[in-house]
Amino acid sequence: MVNVIGLGYIGLPTALMMATHGVEVVGTDYNEELVATLNAGHTTFKEEGLDELFVDALKSGIKFTTEYQVCDTYIVSVPTPYDKLDKKIDPCYVIAACKTVLEVAPKGAVLVIESTISPNTVDRFVRPLLIEAEREDVKLVHAPERIIPGNMVYELLHNNRTIGADDPEVGEEVAKIYATFCQGEISVTDIRTAEMTKVVENTFRAINIAFSNELAKICRIGGMDVAEVIRISNKHPRVNILQPGPGVGGHCIPVDPWFLVGDYPETANFIRLALQTNAGMPEYVLHRAHEVMAERGIKDASKVGIYGLTYKEDVDDVRESPTLQMLESMEEHLCGGGVKVYDPWVERDEVPGQVHSMEEFLDGLEMVIVMVGHSQIKGKPEAFGGRILIDPRNVCGDGENVYKL
Ligand code: SAJ
């Protein structure tokens, strides 16, 4: 039996996927409300294909509880909060979960950590727990996740995976559990390499996006269309530039590369610069909006609204979102407070000026900053009723009222 600890964005779909592929699974979360919701037959976040998978997993007998189970394999997928000032992860939840596992795990159990951790976290924080608890019989594994919000169910089935283990035989055993559903290639390696690959993958993406954001700025100064430049450059067989945008959000791409900068501050200069470039984009878009306001004679900031609050399209996750970063920087410049914000994916109240329908949002606005390209509006600029659009994600087509980055 597998006990998945932490039933959030990663743990829940992973537990469901295992359960629907013949693995006996119990999902554990310390949040009683979340467990009650799952036991009442409801999922806890929106994700393509998740509800269907949930129904199938219930039929396959998955159980949800707040208790840790006695079983052979534990998969820890609790969040790893990030200290914004320190630029380091805080492994407190991973440590707490591992400690509890060590209290209940039978001799020789396998403890798999799926949570994103910075390189050396297992050596620095988890291994000492085993020594302290006199539980060196427990076998440690790190199996970092790679699924992308918005396409999680598909990617769980199809992505390649990495399994880092002290003992390659244990790595192969864990690989067999993942192979029940994973159709990708599973690479077995050591724990430090697995920790590093996870951070490297997200750093690669952060740098690529930073490059395209810098290209957008260069093209603006040079009077060129960055989308066209990137489209044609990407026709080269060895070039694959990502898209510029209003900033980089989520709990991974703007966060994980800082682990390398934090641990290797003298060396990771290029990575630091990429992160700073991305972090400056919400401010750059705001500056662009002010330019257009001046050009179009809009003097009253209350005529400008922000569409999109999530960190990217068609997800309900707002963590580190460029819109939140922009609102923060508006507050610093004392021009925030009450700017209208609308996001069809976010029903809960997240920010002061938030409204909950497109109609209410557009009422009284002359200009909209389109921060997220949700399907609701992608390729449909008419959804904004002819208002002036600032379109940093290039999702509103061309027109005299559409201003790109
Ligand atoms: N973004 C751009 N331009 C692009 C692509 C993305 O500006 O061309 C922005 C998005 O709008 C968003 C941010 O970057 O604000 C991050 O979004 P994303 O879709 O690139 O990535 P995440 O954070 O949803 O998921 C990433 C993925 N990592 C990689 O692709 C290397 C995913 O596979 C990981 O599992 C996930 O991080 C994670 O949990 O680490």
Looking up residue 113, the CATH number of its domain turns out to be 3.40.50.720
Check pocket membership of 146 for ligand 1, CB cut-off 6 A: yes
Are residues 42 and 90 part of one domain? yes
Q: Is 145 in the pocket of ligand 1 (CB under 6 A)?
A: yes
Nearest C-alpha to atom 4 of ligand 1 is from which residue?
243
Full-prediction pTM beyond 0.90?
A: yes
Taking only the tens place, the pLDDT of each residue in 165-218 is 999 999 999 999 999 999 999 999 999 999 999 999 999 999 999 999 999 999
Alpha-carbon separation of residue 140 from 17, 25, 93, 137 (angstroms): 22, 19, 17, 9
Instruction: State whether 183 and 60 are in the same domain.
Output: yes
Residues 6+ apart with CB under 8 A from 278: 206, 209, 210, 213, 247, 248, 253, 254
Q: Quick one: 286 and 273 in the same domain?
A: no
Q: Please tell me the distance between residue 16's alpha carbon and the centre of ligand 1 in angstroms.
A: 23
Q: What is the pLDDT of residue 330?
A: 83
Mean pLDDT, the chain, rounded, equals: 95
Q: Same domain for 93 and 210?
A: no
Residue in 202, 234, 313 to alter for ligand 1 test, most ligand atoms within 8 A of Cβ: 202
- Checking if the pLDDT of 243 tops 70, the result is yes
What pLDDT was estimated at residue 188? 98
Supply the range of the domain harboring residue 244. 198-279
- Measured in Å, residue 196 CA sits from the centre of ligand 1 at 17
ipTM value of the model? 0.99
- In terms of domains, do 24 and 119 share one? yes
- 198 tagged catalytic: yes
In DSSP terms, 3 is beta-bridged to 26, 74
Task: Select from 217, 250, 279 the last residue of a domain.
Answer: 279
Write out pLDDT tens, residues 81-139: 888 777 788 999 999 999 999 999 999 999 999 999 999 999 999 999 999 999 999 99
* Same-domain status, 50 and 151: yes
Query: Is residue 153 domain-shared with residue 33, that is, in the same domain?
Result: yes
Q: Which of these three, 220, 244, 279, is where a domain ends?
A: 279
> How far apart are the CA of 314 and the centre of ligand 1, in A?
13
Decide if 322 contacts 278 (C-beta within 8 A). no
Catalytically annotated residue among 198, 312, 340, 404: 198
Distance 334 CA to ligand 1 centre (A): 31
Cα–Cα distance, 138 to 114 (Å, whole number): 16
Residues 177, 65, single domain; the answer is yes
Same domain, residue pair 88 and 217 = no
**Radius of gyration for the alpha carbons in the chain, expressed in angstroms and rounded:** 23
Using DSSP bridges, classify how beta strands 73-76 and 110-113 pair: parallel, antiparallel or unpaired: parallel
| 243 within ligand 1 shell (Cβ under 6 A) | yes
Protein residue with its CA nearest to atom 7 in ligand 1: 245
Atom of ligand 1 at shortest range from CA of 320: 15
Is 98 or 262 the better-scoring residue by pLDDT?
Answer: 98
Q: Which atom of ligand 1 is nearest to the CA of 150?
A: 24
Tell me the CATH number at 245.
1.10.1040.10
Query: How many separate domains does the chain show?
Result: 3
Residues 124 and 258 in one domain: no
User: In terms of domains, do 35 and 155 share one?
Assistant: yes
Domain end call among 232, 263, 279 = 279
Instruction: Tell how far the Cα of 146 is from the centroid of ligand 1, in angstroms.
Output: 10
For residue 202, the ligand 1 atom closest to its alpha carbon is: 31
148 Cβ inside 6 Å of ligand 1: yes
Query: Which position among 252, 312, 340, 404 bears the catalytic label?
Result: 252
Are 127 and 8 contained in the same domain? yes
Residue 249 CB–ligand 1 contact under 6 Å: yes
**Active-site residue 252, yes or no?**
yes
**Closest by CA position to 87, among listed 323, 278, 263:** 263
Ligand 1 within 6 A of CB of 202: yes
